[in-house]
């Protein structure tokens, strides 16, 4: 062996070859430069190599993606209106955080296909346990107070620990994610407090939080780098695979119906003359409020197609948020029109049929029939609203039209990743399944042996 290969190499000190005359000239030029711009206080240096940065970001990406999916899985099963609405929003916050991190990972030279194919069995155990919440309050504890809070802390630490000069894009992306996290976690704390004030047992929530925190510690925290502890025993999820709910739940302020898609029939008596502007207007406002069922539909699809295609999951998450907004718009517009929104019965027809259904047919119904159906009539509605100088209707329908057009456009790609059926076969099978469901709900009577509702019937009877 040569002496060089036998001993650890001693780094050669780096030598500067600065020349005195050039240096003095540079100093002279600097003195003559008149502008004193703000000094950038950042210093070079941080804790992570590109590889370690990417390892942490991959874990964060996976956690964000799984939190989006987990919230989606619960959308049908959350009864409380306010919580279902916020969850629609939070699904998108997690989806958008995942997207930001995914793009940064791609810049750190990971292939998108590899990022999307990443799985982590330990994180899956944590998410599976969070999904085994026994009610919505426990779900919020797991998602926000355990996982969300740990991620928020980790993002702050990452901002402080990474190199602020070489890794500025990561610093910026976490700052942007935190602008969603702060109000989200603040809301969750207040919501859990509201559950406790309203009678949910605080001790059982505290026990559940402690249990999940120990499980998170067991996997090394969200970074995977924290000291590990013993796993709590027993796990609720041990031997019990989580199955999402199939029945749309509502809180006790709602009076619901599912025996028809038509509000006048459900009410027993029409409030306004059929086909009058007042009738169509009220139907539109109620339909928007009742799009609480669209939060359930699109949220559930994220769960049902999980890991098939990140872009489709992301698009579904964005649509879920949009539908949460449509629900809010409907609720507020009903108030602006002089109603207590809870005095108007809530339609559960569509969500009841879609709940247990294969996502391709449920998606075909809500997207190809429901959203396309809205676009067929909304232009006429906007026109009439303008003639009648109905500023409220004009304002909200204008925004909703833009959203629904966007949903129809995105829907084409999402459907492709749900099914390989031709458009014709997909439509026919969807109509058959909805005929069966509507007959079982009593919304239509099946007189003939062979009978399938038309797409127009579905537009009318399910009514999105």
Q: Which chain residues interact with Fe ion by CB under 5 A?
A: 291, 323, 326, 371, 404, 407
The smaller minimum CB distance to Fe ion, of residues 128 and 322, is found at: 322
The smaller minimum CB distance to Fe ion, of residues 276 and 412, is found at: 412
Shortest Cβ 210–Fe ion spacing (Å): 40
Q: Are 405 and 372 in contact (CB under 8 A)?
A: no
Shortest Cβ 446–Fe ion spacing (Å): 29
Shortest Cβ 365–Fe ion spacing (Å): 12
Residue with tokens 């050669």: 12
The smaller minimum CB distance to Fe ion, of residues 143 and 324, is found at: 324
What is the C-alpha to C-alpha distance for residues 17 and 24, in angstroms, rounded to an integer?
Answer: 14
Inter-helix orientation angle 81-107/292-304, to 10°: 40
What is the C-alpha to C-alpha distance for residues 441 and 54, in angstroms, rounded to an integer?
Answer: 52
Shortest Cβ 274–Fe ion spacing (Å): 24
φ, ψ at 233 (rounded to 5°): -135, 145
DSSP 389: T
H or E element that contains 256: strand 256-257
The smaller minimum CB distance to Fe ion, of residues 289 and 407, is found at: 407
Q: What are the DSSP calls for 319-380, one per residue?
A: HHHHHHHHHHHHHHHHHHTT--GGGSPEE-HHHHHHTTS-HHHHHIIIIIIIIHHHHHHHHH
Shortest Cβ 396–Fe ion spacing (Å): 11
Shortest Cβ 297–Fe ion spacing (Å): 9
The smaller minimum CB distance to Fe ion, of residues 65 and 407, is found at: 407
The smaller minimum CB distance to Fe ion, of residues 76 and 316, is found at: 316
Shortest Cβ 410–Fe ion spacing (Å): 10
Q: Are 381 and 284 in contact (CB under 8 A)?
A: yes
What is the C-alpha to C-alpha distance for residues 445 and 31, in angstroms, rounded to an integer?
Answer: 91
What is the C-alpha to C-alpha distance for residues 413 and 322, in angstroms, rounded to an integer?
Answer: 18
3-state secondary structure at position 253: coil
The smaller minimum CB distance to Fe ion, of residues 58 and 430, is found at: 430
Structure tokens at 145: 């107070």
Residue with tokens 């000094």: 39
The smaller minimum CB distance to Fe ion, of residues 80 and 464, is found at: 464
The smaller minimum CB distance to Fe ion, of residues 313 and 323, is found at: 323
Shortest Cβ 288–Fe ion spacing (Å): 7
The smaller minimum CB distance to Fe ion, of residues 237 and 288, is found at: 288
Shortest Cβ 190–Fe ion spacing (Å): 27
Residue 262 CB contacts under 8 Å (≥ 6 apart), including other chains: 460, 461, 463
Task: Pick the closest to residue 210 from 151, 156, 154, 138 (CA basis).
Answer: 138
What is the C-alpha to C-alpha distance for residues 316 and 307, in angstroms, rounded to an integer?
Answer: 13
Cα 364 from chain centre: 20
Counting every residue written for the chain, the total comes to: 464
Shortest Cβ 406–Fe ion spacing (Å): 8
């Amino acid at each position: 062996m040569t002496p060089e290969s036998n001993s650890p190499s001693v780094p050669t000190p780096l030598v500067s070859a600065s020349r005195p005359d050039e240096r003095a000239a540079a100093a002279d030029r600097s003195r003559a430069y008149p502008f004193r711009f703000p000094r950038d206080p950042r210093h070079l240096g941080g804790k992570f190599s590109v590889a370690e940065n990417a390892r942490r970001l991959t874990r964060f990406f996976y956690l964000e993606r799984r939190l989006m999916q987990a919230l989606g899985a619960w959308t049908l099963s959350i009864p409380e209106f306010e919580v279902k609405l916020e969850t629609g929003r939070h699904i998108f916050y997690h989806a958008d955080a995942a997207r930001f991190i995914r793009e940064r990972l791609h810049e750190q030279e990971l292939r998108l296909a590899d990022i999307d194919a990443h799985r982590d069995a330990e994180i899956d155990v944590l998410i599976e346990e969070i999904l085994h919440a026994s009610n919505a309050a426990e779900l919020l504890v797991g998602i926000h107070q355990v996982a969300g809070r740990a991620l928020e802390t980790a993002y702050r630490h990452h901002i402080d620990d990474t190199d602020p000069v070489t890794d500025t894009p990561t610093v910026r992306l976490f700052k942007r994610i935190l602008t969603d996290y702060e109000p989200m976690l603040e809301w969750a704390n207040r919501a859990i407090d509201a559950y406790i004030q309203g009678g949910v047992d605080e001790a059982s929530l505290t026990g559940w939080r402690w249990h999940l925190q120990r499980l998170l510690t067991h996997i090394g925290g969200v970074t995977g780098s924290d000291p590990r502890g013993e796993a709590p025993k027993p796990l609720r999820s041990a031997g019990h695979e989580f199955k999402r709910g199939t029945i749309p739940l509502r809180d006790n302020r709602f009076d619901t119906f599912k025996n028809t898609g038509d509000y006048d029939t459900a009410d027993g008596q029409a409030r306004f003359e059929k086909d009058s502007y007042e009738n169509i207007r009220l139907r539109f406002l109620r339909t928007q409020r009742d799009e609480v069922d669209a939060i359930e539909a699109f949220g559930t699809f994220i769960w049902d197609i999980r890991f098939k295609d990140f872009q489709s999951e992301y698009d579904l998450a964005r649509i879920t948020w949009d539908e949460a907004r449509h629900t809010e718009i409907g609720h507020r517009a009903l108030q602006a029109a002089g109603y207590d929104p809870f005095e108007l019965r809530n339609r559960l027809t569509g969500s009841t049929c879609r709940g247990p259904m294969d996502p391709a047919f449920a998606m075909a119904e809500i997207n190809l029939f429901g959203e396309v159906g809205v676009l067929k009539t909304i232009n006429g509605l906007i026109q009439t609203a303008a003639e009648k100088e109905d500023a409220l209707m004009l304002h909200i329908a204008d925004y909703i039209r833009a959203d629904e057009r966007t949903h129809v456009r995105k829907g084409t790609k999402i459907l492709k990743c749900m099914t390989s059926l031709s458009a014709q076969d997909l439509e026919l099978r969807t109509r058959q399944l909805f005929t069966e469901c509507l007959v079982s709900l009593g919304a239509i009577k099946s007189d003939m042996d062979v009978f399938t509702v038309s797409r127009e019937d579905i537009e009318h009877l399910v009514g999105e």
